[in-house]
Structure 1
Amino acid sequence: MASGKNMKAANDTYSGFLTLVKVGTISSIIAAVAVVMLIA
């Protein structure tokens, strides 16, 4: 398990990963809706 300074770095990395997943999910949904609107 990480300790001290390594734990802070691990938390920062995980926080960045979660942000990336959230932004990626929203972007994918927007792109899918745009494609559906173009087809319809």
Structure 2
Amino acid sequence: MSNPHDMNAAQGTYSSFIGTLKWSVPLIAVITFIVILLIS
């Protein structure tokens, strides 16, 4: 059915996406908090 090489590529893409998400979500939250503090 599916090619095992495609699954390995998909897992690599997924793990890099999750790794990026782990750093970007907290960073965006901190930037949003700073902007809210500056506005208020």
The TM-score normalised by the length of structure 1 is 0.65
Counterpart code for 1:13: T
CA–CA distance in structure 2, aligned partners of residues 3 and 30 of structure 1: 41
CA–CA distance in structure 2, aligned partners of residues 37 and 10 of structure 1: 40
Counterpart code for 2:33: V
Structure 1 counterpart of 2:5:
5
Identity over aligned pairs, percent = 30
Structure 1 vs Structure 2 CA RMSD: 1.8
Which structure ranks higher in relative contact order (CA pairs < 8 Å, sequence separation ≥ 6)?
Answer: 1
In structure 2, runs of 5+ residues without a counterpart are none
In structure 1, runs of 5+ residues without a counterpart are none
Matched residue pairs, number? 40
Confirm or deny that 1:33 pairs with 2:17: no
